[in-house]
Amino acid sequence: MPRHTPSSSSSPSRASAARPVLMTVTGDSIVAADLGPRGRDRPPGPYRRLLSVPGARAFTAGNLVARLPQGMFSVSAVVMIAGTRGSYALAGAVVATGLAATAVVAPLTARLVDRHGQARVAVPATVIAVLGSLALLLCVRQGAPDWTLFAAYAATATTPNTGGMARARWNHLLRGDPAALHTANSFEQAADELCYMLGPVVAAFLCGTFFPEAGTLVAATLLMSGMLLFTAQRSTEPPALPRSSAKAPLRAPGVPPLLVVCLATGAVFGSLEVVTIAFADERGHRAAAGAVLALQAAGSCAAGLLFGTLRPAVPARVLLPWCVAAMTALMTLPLFAAAGTGSLPLLAGTLLLAGMATAPTMVTTMTLVQQRTPEGRLNEGMTLAVTGLLGGIACGSAAGGWTVEHVSPAAGYGVPVTAAAVALLLALVTRTAAGAGSRRHRPPH
């Protein structure tokens, strides 16, 4: 009768001790079967190691809940205002006013976060933003004058940069470990893409299924509850520097050129969204535009997660032009698909591919912002980068809309290609300037 006994190898080698062996005894013969390495002996992946940092899972969960509304508020506001007031022009103007207010207020909020701490500033700032959203909801529902909509939505500009605060925590926890910080930046960029991919879908579903104000109401609830959970994790919060003598990020060497790169990169995103909606609408499939754009975000999300598992062999300032060059090259694919075939399914496939270069570009850009922002001003520096992106999105949307209206939707895909090419030129200039600066400050041998 065969007997099965688990046993360890008698060999003194470390490898054998780490691999269990199944010993089968039949008569006078013994057969050993290697069961393979134990699961617990396998080295954990980079994201598992990242989330095993004490306190990381708790603040990440809260941050993701607070970040999802970023992709919900604008869509919810447009649906809510246009549905009750019958004017997309009014809805667009209200949202544009909110973006303009954010560009002014967000860096100031981030500066207060650096000086006084995330919990002390982010919670009251979020309360003001949530009250602004609820005021907008009530003004729309009660038929208040149009100017009240602008005032209410402008109040939401105090919403803290949740992604920037999460990156600041990673920078604090992983100081001295650039490989882990690279994984963290990739994870955060993938989270951004996921939230901007799911947010509009969730908002449209809530507004269409229940009532027009449902999207705004749920987004405000998620923002407040997520922010409370995030800021409650005090053990991972970076220390505040109330009297920092560091330079403002706008005056730090190498930061202003990066903000201009962010501006051009944002123009890629803004123009791509407007042109894709117009292209789908021209073919009678406007409802499919959201799914097509979601593919672009999905490609970026997947590429961001993959990029986080890699270890770049060159510094970020050298890598950035290569990432932007890849984005420029891949952005030509939607242009060729739209102008050559006019097929919406083919366009969707090319947008999936084009999106795969955007996350590595943003991860590398944010890494450079972290490296070049003075100590104690990190939230402000990253918020300025986000503000540059928002400004670029607004400019790209305007340029894409003008091209669609005066030329054609297919020709509109030339706008993101042009914007990406400008970003490439700026990234090359940034690299050259940074290299020259490092040579000037190199100590003598």
CATH number, domain of 331, equals 1.20.1250.20
Q: Is residue 45 part of a domain?
A: no
Q: Is residue 6 part of a domain?
A: no
Distance of CA 194 to the CA centre of its chain: 8
Question: Is there a single domain that holds both residue 231 and residue 257?
Answer: no
Of 243, 267, 288, the one marking the end of a domain is: 243
Question: Is there a single domain that holds both residue 360 and residue 381?
Answer: yes
pLDDT of 40 reads 53
Q: Is residue 5 part of a domain?
A: no
Distance, CA of 297 to CA of 294 (rounded, Å): 5
Alpha-carbon dihedral 365, 369, 370, 372, rounded to 10 degrees: 130
Question: Is there a single domain that holds both residue 113 and residue 255?
Answer: no
C-alpha count within 13 angstroms, C-beta hemisphere, residue 11: 10
Distance, CA of 353 to CA of 363 (rounded, Å): 17
pLDDT of 320 reads 92
Question: Is there a single domain that holds both residue 136 and residue 168?
Answer: yes
Domain containing 410: what range? Answer: 244-440
Q: Is residue 67 part of a domain?
A: yes
pLDDT of 4 reads 42
Q: Is residue 26 part of a domain?
A: no
pLDDT of 432 reads 64
Q: List the Cα angle 140/274/412 in 5-degree steps.
A: 155
Q: Is residue 188 part of a domain?
A: yes
Question: Is there a single domain that holds both residue 258 and residue 334?
Answer: yes
Question: Is there a single domain that holds both residue 315 and residue 271?
Answer: yes
pLDDT of 118 reads 93
Of 243, 263, 287, the one marking the end of a domain is: 243
For residue 393, give the amino acid letter: I
User: Tens digits of per-residue pLDDT, 221-274?
Assistant: 999 999 999 999 999 999 887 766 667 777 888 888 899 999 999 899 888 888
Of 223, 243, 263, the one marking the end of a domain is: 243
Distance, CA of 48 to CA of 180 (rounded, Å): 11
Question: Is there a single domain that holds both residue 187 and residue 260?
Answer: no
Q: Is residue 25 part of a domain?
A: no
pTM of the model: 0.73
Question: Is there a single domain that holds both residue 210 and residue 321?
Answer: no
Two tokens at 54?
């004490």
Which residue from 102, 104, 105, 82 is spatially nearest to 92, judged by alpha carbons?
Answer: 82
Which residue from 140, 134, 300 is spatially nearest to 212, judged by alpha carbons?
Answer: 140
Per the structure, the count of domains in the chain is 2
Distance, CA of 386 to CA of 285 (rounded, Å): 32
Question: Is there a single domain that holds both residue 339 and residue 392?
Answer: yes
* Buried-exposed string 97-125: b where 16+ CB fall within 10 A, e elsewhere: bbbebbbebbbebbbbbbbebbbebbbeb
pLDDT of 82 reads 81
Question: Is there a single domain that holds both residue 174 and residue 272?
Answer: no
pLDDT of 224 reads 96
Question: Is there a single domain that holds both residue 234 and residue 259?
Answer: no
Residue 428 buriedness (CB in 10 A; 0-12 / 13-18 / 19+): middle
Question: Is there a single domain that holds both residue 275 and residue 177?
Answer: no
pLDDT of 425 reads 93
Distance, CA of 100 to CA of 395 (rounded, Å): 12
Distance, CA of 293 to CA of 288 (rounded, Å): 9
3-state secondary structure the chain: CCEEEEECCCCCCHHHHCCCEEEEEECCEEEEEECCCCHHHCCCCHHHHHHCCCCHHHHHHHHHHHHHHHHCHHHHHHHHHHHHHCCHHHHHHHHHHHHHHHHHHHHHHHHHHHHHCHHHHHHHHHHHHHHHHHHHHHHHHHCCCHHHHHHHHHHHHHCCCHHHHHHHHHHHHCCCCHHHHHHHHHHHHHHHHHHHHHHHHHHHHHHHHCCCCHHHHHHHHHHHHHHHHHHCCHHHCCCCCCCCCCCCHHHCCCHHHHHHHHHHHHHHHHHHHHHHHHHHHHCCCHHHHHHHHHHHHHHHHHHHHHHHHCCCCCCHHHHHHHHHHHHHHHHHHHHHHHHHCCCHHHHHHHHHHHHHHHHHHHHHHHHHHHHHCCCCCHHHHHHHHHHHHHHHHHHHHHHHHHHHHHCCHHHHCHHHHHHHHHHHHHHHHHHHHHHHHHHHCCCCC
Q: Is residue 412 part of a domain?
A: yes
What parts of the chain have a pLDDT lower than 50? 1-36, 38-39, 436-445
